[in-house]
Amino acid sequence: MTATTTADLLALDRVAQDLLFRAARTANTFTDEPVTDAQVAAIHDLIRYGPTAYNGQPLRVLLLRSAAARARLLPYVSSSNRAKTASAPLTAILAADVDFHQRLPELYPHRPQARDWLADRAARVEQARFNATLQIGYLIVGVRAAGLAAGPMAGFDTAGVQREFFPDGRHEVLLLLNLGHPDLGAPHDRLPRLDTGEVIRTLDEPG
Amino acid sequence: MTATTTADLLALDRVAQDLLFRAARTANTFTDEPVTDAQVAAIHDLIRYGPTAYNGQPLRVLLLRSAAARARLLPYVSSSNRAKTASAPLTAILAADVDFHQRLPELYPHRPQARDWLADRAARVEQARFNATLQIGYLIVGVRAAGLAAGPMAGFDTAGVQREFFPDGRHEVLLLLNLGHPDLGAPHDRLPRLDTGEVIRTLDEPG
């Protein structure tokens, strides 16, 4: 018998809560066990159902598996991120497709004119970045759903990575993500999280 | 006996996969059943463990529950979003705290100087927006984990909502989110999703 906790108020079972959030940790070191293409496809097949504006799904993922592919990335990565990026079984470059709107007649068929609402590139870049970032949130959850650990990294030369890997000029690089089976032992205790009262408030009515 | 599918490659059980992604739908209409403060706290207590850069956790949530609170929002909402925002049991304004860095000595204690790395406001706004958007991805998953449906809405006057609800100038409003128990029946069939091969590719080595 355990006391009722906030976890009991959720429909999601406790094992899944732990897998995705409570016990999951960002990983900096990984075992040698590979992350297979089938696992990556399974993660995508789950998280692709997460919602995006106009169902636009702007996230694009470039996987770097081989040492040769990784070697092209390392010069752009901050020194503190280099060793883990070199040794992770798989590294993903996460980017937004700024021309995602070209697919809207197919992805948002009840309003095919949505493509034309997004004719302005500057507005579209903002939309692409925002919705691809939402999808990165789903993706991090999805990596954990596969029993893997994710290691997101923001410390890199974004413009350099964009030139090196997306010379077409139609993608905005957002984040790097290492994936793998976490090595035993987290590097430090879990960092403190804000309390609900510090994050969420209810608007008071005028009296 | 069913055929092996990509779903079987995940550690997350099928019921949870359906609850969070495969069967979950964005809701436009809700039942009258309220969303309680305890449910909101339970959702936050789950998703607050999702990772953010520097553990900065910039997402802030303002809940509008009463008709009077909702009435202050409606003038800023696009006409197509007005009815559902007026009738949802709970509407949340999701924003990024641009001054999240002030908490870093406490939230990122092993590198308290991270606060000073973020002294430049423009760089901080970008960080705050990006990481709060990641957290919105976790939040949408968390709403579903509570057995509720989420209705994210981007169609509103962002500057107007910011002035009306965050006059302090330290928050960037990102998205509106209706929460509730979904009314029976989705409004339309699920929209098509991109195939894995359209979203994810592996970098080919130079030959």
Closest CA to A77 of A183, A148, A158: A158
pLDDT digit string (tens) for B134-188? Answer: 999 999 999 999 999 999 999 999 999 999 999 999 999 999 999 999 887 666 7
B37 in any annotated domain = yes
Confirm whether A160 is domain-assigned. Answer: yes
The tally of domains found in chain A comes to: 1
Q: What per-residue confidence (pLDDT) applies to A207?
A: 42
Nearest to A196 among B45, B66, B192 (CB): B45
Q: Helices (H), strands (E): how many in chain A? A: 9, 5
The residues, any chain, with a CB within 8 Å of residue B152's CB and separated by 6 or more, are A51, A53, B26, B136, B140, B175, B176, B177
- Average of per-residue pLDDT across A37-49: 97
Q: Which residue of A has its CA nearest to B148?
A: A11
What kind and span of H or E run contains A193? Answer: none
Please give the ipTM for the structure prediction: 0.96
The verdict on residue A164 lying in a domain is yes
As a whole number, the mean pLDDT across chain A is: 93
SS3 A61: strand
Predicted confidence band of residue B206 (pLDDT cuts 50, 70, 90): low
**Inside any domain, residue B41:** yes
Give residue for tokens 């094992």: A15
B92 in any annotated domain: yes
The residue to which tokens 């990575």 are assigned: A161
pLDDT in tens, A119-134: 999 999 999 999 999 9
Contact B36, A200 (CB under 8 A): no
State whether A41 and B135 contact (CB < 8 Å). Answer: no
- Say which CATH number the domain at B55 has: 3.40.109.10
Res A23 pLDDT > 70:
yes
Classify A192 as helix, strand or coil.
Answer: coil
Segments forming the whole domain that contains residue B166: 25-183
Condensed to tens digits (0 to 9), the pLDDT of residues B5-38 reads: 888 999 999 999 999 999 999 988 899 999 999 9
Let me know if residue A5 belongs to a domain. Answer: no
Q: Do B38 and A64 touch (CB under 8 A)?
A: no
The larger pLDDT score, comparing residue A159 to residue A29, is at A159
Confidence of residue A184 (pLDDT cuts 50, 70, 90): confident
The verdict on residue A14 lying in a domain is no
Q: Residue A206: is its pLDDT beyond 70? A: no
pLDDT for the residue A53: 96
Give the per-residue pLDDT at B6. Answer: 84
pLDDT at A177 over 60: yes
**B40/A11 Cβ within 8 A:** no
Q: For residue B58, tell me if it sits in a domain.
A: yes
